[in-house]
Amino acid sequence: MFGVLQMNDKISGFELAKRSGEKKAIAMIVDGVASDLSIHIPETAAVEFITKDHPSALEIMRHTSSHILAQSIKELWPNAKISIGPVIENGFYYDISCDHQITPDDFEKIEKKMREIIKADHKISRETMSKSDAIALFETMNEPFKVELIQDLDVSEVTLYRHEDRFVDLCRGPHLPKTGTASVHFKIMKVAGAYWRGDSKRDMLQRIYATSWFTREELDQYLHNLEEAEKRDHRKIARDMNLFHMQEESPGCIFWHPKGWTMYNALKDYVRRCIQKDGYVEVCTPQMIDRSLWEASGHWEKYRENMFIAESENRILAIKPMNCPGAVQIFKQGIKSYRDLPIRMAEFGCCHRNEPSGALYGAMRVRGFTQDDAHIFCTPDQINSETKKFCLLLTKVYKDLGFDTFSVKFSDRPEKRTGSDEIWDLSEKLLQKATKEAGLDFSINKGEGAFYGPKLEFVLKDKLGREWQCGTLQVDFQLPEKLGAWYTAEDGRKHHPVMLHRAVLGSLERFIGILLEHYAGRVPPWLSPVQTVVATITNDFDGYARKIFNDFDENGLRVELDLRPEKISYKIREHIIEKTPIIAIIGAEEVRQNNLTLRYPDGSQETLSAGEALTKIRNACQPPDV
């Protein structure tokens, strides 16, 4: 469908599509670059046509839809000034300045106008213009934001797109050939304020968000997922389950309640058992470390603005934003031989980073967090085996937690980095080789490596299809050398070890937030802070209920006793909201028969003997084997 053609004559994409019989082409890829069908193709170019089922099609359609949105605004409110309208995840937005304050009451009117523009099927044409002529054009149109954008471009020519004589915009494209090619399956989602160019001293604009899909089914599914995501908001679930809260006096930090801390420790204990079995030793390093060590490690130069600082006795101390330098200090104690390697040193390290207040979001983006961190000190020859070993561990943990698949991104050297190109070449080569030999496919995440080395990023997909980057593995040749860590090699000479930085969950706080949203609060019983509740229909059965409660408690279950003089329907409803996995109900018949009626989250019930019920609940609440 997307055949690659070698061109010898310079013709337009429209002509080439017609010759090749590709009637459904909406754009094309020329020598790896997405382009309009209107451009003329260079000689010997490789051409791939884009139809609606191509991975790039949705972004191009949404890009055109943002222009259609801007056109509709201009036609409804001619004095409006347009600025920028990029594609974003799941949709697009356009920033405008308008005397009319747009509200949700206007959404239907704007959507109607957009459909009129799509139905009119205006031809979309691309043209280039000198910078000075483009400035003059947009000055004539009284579009000051466009004028400013063009003035700041370091180019001699700019690209414009016209919808016949109805609308013109500054854009590099690509776009659809006609407005009628755009999908009518769109919805305006919200309007918000946004400063021009993100500068609080500049104009406040109105940002109109929208989503667009090729089919009604895709749009409906997206809107359904949004509703589900709102229901699954981990902050709301945490309130319902009484897990934690956050408050202004400690921004970005979590106040764990007893139930939340129980869940936290259940997760931590499971990870601890996994890493102990996998050959890790556990350590703990100080929270505050003198500036001198951060300078020696390179973090002071690269990460200072994100570090919290304290002063004492004329010394500057930093609250650690990461655990790595501390781990190296432990490695340096005593002489190490090649026979000691690899050393797998784990730490549930509590870190603090000065994230912008506007970026903080529940447990997902915090300032204070605990990493399931570890540092593997090894020889270069051991990178392969340790990468494979880590990938097996990570796969098991994710599967046990309900994530059967994950994707991998390979993040290579960033612009701001330390170390020579030779070190980076070696690091990237070894990590890519190890990843391939571990049997993992990966995509390239250009320029997103750590400042000291390349890394793998492991991305989970939850039940709503949302992606969460969690685990990491980073290869570091530099930090051990900077901090003077070495081992005696087989040849009797001193060598610096390679340091593999790795985490499976990333941070416990964020991962608990992900779990709450993934399971809509109904986490596996072994993680649940309360695994079962013993609830009586009336207080006549309190004695039997206390006996059952004691039996459950003595058998290691996290159990609560509900003897409140409330209707059983009220009690059940409350425990459903609190996401209790199993409710053991006791009435007259249960007491008479020495039974329990177990109610499950799906509303089903069964009556078992007290002994059978205990066995069933215990089995259901067992954590995964390691």
List 235, 336, 413, 501, catalytic entry: 501
The C-alpha atoms of residue 561 and residue 548 are separated, in whole angstroms, by 9
Of 302, 353, 365, 522, the active-site residue reads 353
- Residue 508 burial class via C-beta count within 10 angstroms: exposed 0-12, middle 13-18, buried 19 and up: buried
What are φ and ψ of residue 534, in 5° steps?
A: -95, 115
State the CB neighbour count (10 A cutoff) for residue 309: 12
Residues 71, 371, 474, 531: which is the catalytic one? 371
| Side chain identity, residue 186 | F
Q: Which of 234, 375, 417, 502 is catalytic?
A: 375
CB of 185 closer than 8 Å to CB of 212: yes
CA 208 to chain centre: 23
Establish whether 67 is a catalytic residue.
no
List, in sequence order, every residue forming a beta bridge with 372; answer none if it has no partner.
Answer: 348
Query: Among residues 324, 378, 391, 470, which one is catalytic?
Result: 324
Maximum distance among all Cα pairs of the chain, rounded to whole angstroms = 93
8 Å CB contact between 145 and 94: no
Choose the catalytic residue: 455, 558, 575, 579: 455
Question: Is 257 in the active site?
Answer: no
Give DSSP secondary structure letters for 292-338. Answer: HHHHHHTHHHHHGGG-EEEEETTEEEEE-S-SHHHHHHHHTSS--BG
Q: Is 324 a catalytic residue?
A: yes
Encoding tokens for residue 234? 């981990």
Residue recorded with tokens 């330390």:
418
Least Cα distance to 562 among 593, 597, 537 occurs for 537
CA dihedral 118, 122, 125, 129 (to 10 degrees): -100
Q: Which of 95, 372, 373, 412 is catalytic?
A: 373
Confirm if 354 and 307 have CB atoms less than 8 A apart: yes
In whole angstroms, what is the distance from residue 524 CA to residue 531 CA? Answer: 9
Instruction: Tell me how many degrees the CA angle 63-67-72 measures, rounded to the nearest 5.
Output: 140
CA distance linking residue 512 with residue 505, whole number of Å: 9
Assess whether 353 carries a catalytic annotation.
Answer: yes
List residues bridging with 143 in a β-sheet: none
Instruction: Count CB-CB contacts under 10 A for residue 326.
Output: 23
Q: What spatial distance separates the first Cα and last Cα of the chain, rounded to whole Å? A: 47
CA dist list (Å): 116 to 79, 307, 323, 443, 523 = 20, 53, 58, 40, 47
Is 360 within 8 Å of 354 (Cβ atoms)? no
Q: In what order do the strands lie in the sheet with 605-609?
A: 559-562, 532-536, 582-586, 595-599, 605-609
Task: Tell me whether residue 455 is one of the annotated catalytic residues.
Answer: yes
Rounded Cα distance, 303 and 558, in Å: 42
Q: Structure tokens of 98?
A: 């308008």
Cα(497)–Cα(499) distance, integer angstroms:
6
For the sheet containing 157-163, what is the strand order?
124-130, 157-163, 167-170
Other C-beta atoms within 10 Å of 196: how many? 18
Contact assessment for residue 579 and residue 240, using Cβ atoms and an 8 Å cutoff: yes
Nearest by Cα to 138 from 171, 179, 106: 171
State the catalytic residues.
Answer: 324, 353, 371, 373, 375, 455, 501
